[in-house]
Amino acid sequence: MPELTPAEVAKLYGSRFLTEDAPDGAFPASGMPALDAMRLVDEELALEGDPWRNLATFVTTWMEPEAQRIVSENLHRNFIDHAEYPISAEIEQRCIRMLADLYNAPGETTGCRTQGSSEAIMLGALSLKWKWKERREAEGKGTEKPNLVFGGDVHVVWEKFCRYFDVEPRIVRLREDKYVIGPEDVEPHVDENTIGVAVVLGTTFTGHADDIPGINDLLLRIKEEKGLDVPLHVDAASGGFVWPFLYPHSEWDFRLEQVRSINVSGHKFGLVYPGIGWLVFREKADLAEDLVFYENYLGKTDATFTLNFSTGASMVLAQYYNFVRLGREGYGWVMQAMEENAKALAGKLEENGNFELIGADKEQLPLVAFKLREGKDYDEFDVSWQLSAERGWMLPAYTMPPDAEEVKVMRALVKETLSRSQVDRLAADVAEACASLEKKGGAHAAERKRVKRSPGY
């Protein structure tokens, strides 16, 4: 038998990366067999967090096999090539019309798919800025000092918008007993340079909604008394697929006159994998025409309103799949199932005696926000650490935004993948983590450094 070199033996019997470092710097000089490359990536990911135990994320971690098939069979389809893929473009329009219907738009409207709520918010807020400029210029007034009003309970993307696009952020600070905003908070900040007010339906921090009807009434009063038409944009990143099904009689959408635009993440409670968001305007006139680009690309004149260009069509198709697969009834069933399980978890955490719930009696996303009762020798960050060390759950602890930064919160998203028996298991694991902490005291300083400290998205 011929003698084989170690490299030949490895080639014959196993992956090169059993004994070599993974390429991580210089561009690899040569390649490797497809199987080796696949194993390399798989092995690298083996130590990553398990999405099924990720109770921090709002983002979808499971779709039906039929939906997965649609996703994987259409990854090669570039959504922006409308000339080549007109059916994908039409399916986007169908989704927008369905969302406009869900949000009670009064008539014909417009909107677009985006990469997520962040892109949708950038585009929606840009439209607010442009429309404000148009109004000011028509009145012969200055356009140097635009401002945008929102609460400290918003996602970071709103401050990002203000910095990137030169708008003064007017942020209503939270309080230790108040984690959403209402008309009394907004009123002092609104003036003739206000391009809009942004409100949240389902905050990242506790899952509650700002007082949107109250703020709408305020803006109507300002319109009547001062002649200022200040639009409302609803950041319904999470709530846009929850409220219509769990709280259909709550008015937060286009039923309210000042609500001019809404964003929602398809990849959160829209139940699609990451990479899809939506922006819907109340009516066509709410989209600033100057922001739409008409170009002749690949043989067809196309209108685009987007910050990106090329992107996959898969998630648009998967969103449409969910809309037709579930309909209002099916989404309703899924949301109710999540809510029931969230309530079951909340009940068990209360029984446990160590925790108090945050706003469980109010309209809320299907999640449990809670904190430790006073007088413990350990804190929420310790519980988060202990739980991940003992059982691998990713259940975040974080502090609230200013001026409520002294308040520490834990939050468990209860998604489709958390069955009732897992809820029971989780509650028992939380109780065990507390028992361990009672015995040994808080986590070591080195352990604490590894605790997840943001609310997760």
**Minimum CB distance to ligand PLP smaller for 160 or for 223:** 160
Does residue number 54 form part of the binding site for ligand PLP (CB under 6 A)?
no
Q: Among residue numbers 416 through 445, which ones bind ligand PLP (CB under 6 A)?
A: none
| The binder of ligand PLP chosen from 270, 275, 277, 401 (CB under 6 A) | 277
Rounded to 5 degrees, φ, ψ at 132 are -60, -45
**Minimum CB distance to ligand PLP smaller for 169 or for 347:** 169
Residue 167 contacts residue 129 (beta carbons within 8 Å): yes
| The binder of ligand PLP chosen from 15, 54, 74, 117 (CB under 6 A) | 117
d(CA 435, CA 433): 5
d(CA 240, CA 202): 8
**Minimum CB distance to ligand PLP smaller for 235 or for 429:** 235
Q: Among residue numbers 210 through 239, which ones bind ligand PLP (CB under 6 A)?
A: 235, 237-238
**Minimum CB distance to ligand PLP smaller for 237 or for 256:** 237
Does residue number 60 form part of the binding site for ligand PLP (CB under 6 A)?
no
- Classify strands 300-304 and 293-297 as parallel, antiparallel or unpaired: antiparallel
Does residue number 311 form part of the binding site for ligand PLP (CB under 6 A)?
no
Give the contact letters, 234-273, x = binds to ligand PLP (CB under 6 A), - = no: -x-xx--------------------------x--------
Task: Supply the minimum distance, in Å, between the C-beta of residue 56 and ligand PLP.
Answer: 10
d(CA 253, CA 147): 23
Cα-only R_g, the chain: 25
Estimate to the nearest angstrom the gap between the alpha carbon of 179 and the chain centroid: 18
| The binder of ligand PLP chosen from 53, 155, 208, 411 (CB under 6 A) | 155
Interior angle at CA 300, CA 296 and CA 304, nearest 5 = 65
d(CA 343, CA 362): 12
The runs of H, that is alpha helices, within 74-211 are 86-102, 117-138, 157-164, 183-186
Does residue number 200 form part of the binding site for ligand PLP (CB under 6 A)?
yes
Rule CB under 6 A: which residues touch ligand PLP? Answer: 58, 116-118, 155, 157, 200, 204, 235, 237-238, 265, 277, 457
